[in-house]
Amino acid sequence: MKNFFVTTPIYYVNDVPHIGHAYTTILADVLARFHRASGEEVFFLTGVDEHGQKVLQAAQKRGVPPQQHCDELAPRFSNLWEKLEIRYDDFIRTTEARHTKVVQHVLQKVYDAGDIYVDEYEGWYSVAEERFITETEMTSGVFRDVKQIKERNYFFKMSKYQDRLIEYIQSHPEFIQPEHRANEILGFLKQPLGDLCISRPKARMSWGIDLPFDKEYVTYVWFDALINYISVPGYASDEQKFLRLWPADLHLIGKDILTTHSVYWTTMLFSLGLPLPRTIFAHGWWLTGDTKMSKSLGNVINPMDFIEKYGVDAVRYFLMREMVLGADANFTPDAFIKRYNSDLANDFGNLLNRVSGLLGKNHDGAVPEPGARTAAEEEIITVGRGLSAKVHELIGRLRVHEAIDETINLVRIVNKYLELQAPWKLAKTDMPSACRVLYVAAEALRLCSALLKPVMPSKTKAVLEILGAADSGLSWGELKSGTTLQPHGALFPRIEVEKK
Ligand code: MSP
């Protein structure tokens, strides 16, 4: 059976999750659900990054030991994922023994292979970025909290793999996506690649995994975190599982961590002799106004506020429909309300109301017989028949917003068709025609709900239950005539905006 192994970044537990974290995780969930619906065996991995300076500082700020801090913060992520209906297959915390053991194994292996050496190093260190930066980076002025540090440290021979990495990126166009991100990395690789400092003396920062070959040091947080992608699927612990799952099909990340994934991680995998993930996809940022949403800027949107007000499915829908994968997008309450009212209240919710209202009024509340088709139905059926393949093709190319738009577009077409056909009038003069029109409208509603299931699991489940089609599939014509519709309230009540 075909496998689909998708990952999200593992998030720092230095603070509670915000919309940015929720976005990547929902995206992975939506893709996982689409792939499951196509009958693939899916493995969806997420988790939290618990080591390193950022987490240590957050714990110190709260005045609690770091492990206790992590134990308290990690559930904030898993609980939010539960509320957001994220169905992951595994959730890794990097302080778990199943992970730390593998990190030490990897360190030892890379060390034994001669790819780690010790050196005295003097250079600029960015506390905020938690890494040594080059002279050029220093003068760019982009880095905050910079100081000069002189230290004995361990280095990973990243430079050794530079040519191989360039060649790999050039010969695998699907590897780094979108394409302009691959070009960005190739541009970065035009400069000589330095080696990576992978240790922190415990005297300075002790919250990490011990280097197996020098107990005075812990490993750098990225050399620890990235390994989650192989520690969970069983590297060095469960060979069968690992063979089945690795390489991952898709590492979903934000563009902020592109270099760590496409340069650090890939060279680590080269050193281990492991195949590289099929695709690293860097999405853009959610902005508020023109600035990135981030804790330090104090402009974060708390997903819970929107979930409580408008429901989980509306939030999932907005995030998936609004962001063109790869580009930045703006999260503002106005944009949310606009999208909700137009797509969910006016288009999708309205179609359900019309269909169930008219069936209730003129057809004893049951799905009618389709009867003989006219050209108008043929047109809709042609769109309906091709829709599932189209949506899955778009999802395969990570065009999530387009896949959703194609589906909502059929809803719009059918709403227009209803206005033109006016089955409420037909019911008075030509009952078979009224039946024909309402069967097509109800079937289109069913199909669109089935196709939107990965995006809005609860609301679409409700619609399918109303239509008596809970277990129906993705091809046109599965709605059964004679089924009695279930009573329901408004699916997506319109949000009334107060006029200023
Ligand atoms: N712990 C590292 C990742 C290690 S992966 C092996 C880390 N954690 S983080 O908590 O800072 O999360 C970064 C990720 O959160 C981004 O790559 C992205 O997936 C998501 N986002 C955080 N802020 C975001 C926005 N404003 N917009 C979109 N996504 C953002 O980096």
**Integer Cα distance of 369 and 355 in angstroms:** 14
- d(Cα 114, Cα 256) in Å, to the nearest integer? 30
pLDDT score recorded for residue 296: 67
Place of tokens 């409700």: 462
- Tell how far the Cα of 27 is from the centroid of ligand 1, in angstroms: 13
**Cα 21 to ligand 1 centre (Å):** 6
Mutate to test the pocket of ligand 1, among 13, 21, 226 (most ligand atoms within 8 A of CB): 21
- Residue 499 pLDDT: 64
- Residue 176, strand partner residues: 280
- Atom 5 of ligand 1, nearest CA residue: 9
How does pLDDT run across 470-488, given as a tens digit for each residue?
999 999 999 999 999 999 9
382 alpha-carbon distance from chain centroid = 32
Beta-sheet pairing, 176-177 with 279-283: parallel
Q: Which atom of ligand 1 is nearest to the CA of 228?
A: 6
Please name the residues in contact with 379: beta carbons below 8 A apart, sequence gap of 6 or more. none
Tell me the H-state helices in 221-299.
221-225, 228-231, 239-245, 258-259, 266-272
Q: What pLDDT shows up at residue 128?
A: 77
Alpha helices in 38-126 (DSSP H): 53-62, 66-83, 97-112
pLDDT score of 140: 80
Q: How far is the CA of 328 from the centre of ligand 1 (A)?
A: 14
Q: Which of 11, 48, 221, 328 is the best mutation target for the ligand 1 pocket, counting ligand atoms within 8 Å of the beta carbon and taking the most?
A: 11
Give the pLDDT of residue 416.
98
Q: Rounded CA gap, 242 and 233, in Å?
A: 5
Chain centroid to CA 115: 33
The CA 171 to ligand 1 mean position distance, Å, reads: 28
Q: Report in angstroms the alpha-carbon separations of 491 from 2, 401, 411, 464, 500.
A: 36, 21, 15, 12, 27
Sequence-ordered list of residues with C-beta below 8 angstroms from that of 146, at least 6 positions apart, any chain: 124, 125, 126, 127, 133, 138
The protein residue whose alpha carbon is closest to atom 12 in ligand 1 is 11
Ligand 1 site residues (CB inside 6 A) read 9-12, 20-21, 23-24, 49, 225-226, 253-254, 256-257, 285-286, 292-293
348: burial class by Cβ within 10 Å (0-12, 13-18, 19+)?
Answer: buried
**Ligand 1: distance of its center to the CA of 163 in Å?**
28
Residues 6+ apart with CB under 8 A from 124: 132, 133, 134, 135, 137, 138, 143, 146, 147, 148, 149
C-alpha 57 to ligand 1 mean position (Å): 18
All residue ranges of the chain with pLDDT < 70 are 1, 290, 292-299, 499-500
Query: Structure tokens of 181?
Result: 């991100």
Residue (of 323, 260, 256) closest to 286 by Cα position: 323
Cβ contact 333:303 at 8 Å: no
Q: Is 16 left (phi over 0), alpha (psi -120 to 50) or beta?
A: beta
pTM of the model: 0.95
Ligand 1 midpoint to CA 18 (Å):
10
**Contact, 49 vs 14, CB < 8 A?**
no
Q: Which of ligand 1's atoms lies nearest the C-alpha of 287?
A: 26
CA 462 / ligand 1 centre spacing (Å): 33
pLDDT of residue 134: 79
**Shortest-distance atom of ligand 1 to CA 226:** 6
Nearest CA owner, ligand 1 atom 29: 20
How much distance in Å is there from the Cα of 244 to the middle of ligand 1?
A: 28
Which ligand 1 atom minimizes the distance to the CA of 293? 26
Instruction: Give the residue whose CA is nearest to atom 8 of ligand 1.
Output: 11
How far is the centre of ligand 1, averaged over its atoms, from the C-alpha of 145 (Å)?
20
State the angle between helix axes of 66-83 and 19-37 in degrees (0 to 180), rounded to the nearest 10: 50
Nearest Cα residue to atom 21 of ligand 1 = 20
> Which of 145, 27, 131 is closest to 86 using CA atoms?
27
Nearest CA residue ID for atom 7, ligand 1 = 11
Rounded CA gap, 9 and 17, in Å?
13
In tens, the pLDDT along 312-341 reads: 999 999 999 999 999 999 888 889 999 999
**Mutational test site, ligand 1, from 27, 76, 230, 256, max ligand atoms within 8 Å of CB:** 256
Q: Distance, CA 253 to ligand 1 centroid (Å)?
A: 7
**Cα of 50 to ligand 1 centre, how many Å?**
14
Mutation choice for ligand 1 from 24, 226, 228, CB with most ligand atoms inside 8 A: 24
Residue 251 CA to ligand 1 center (angstroms) comes to 12
Q: Which amino acid appears at position 252 of this protein? A: L
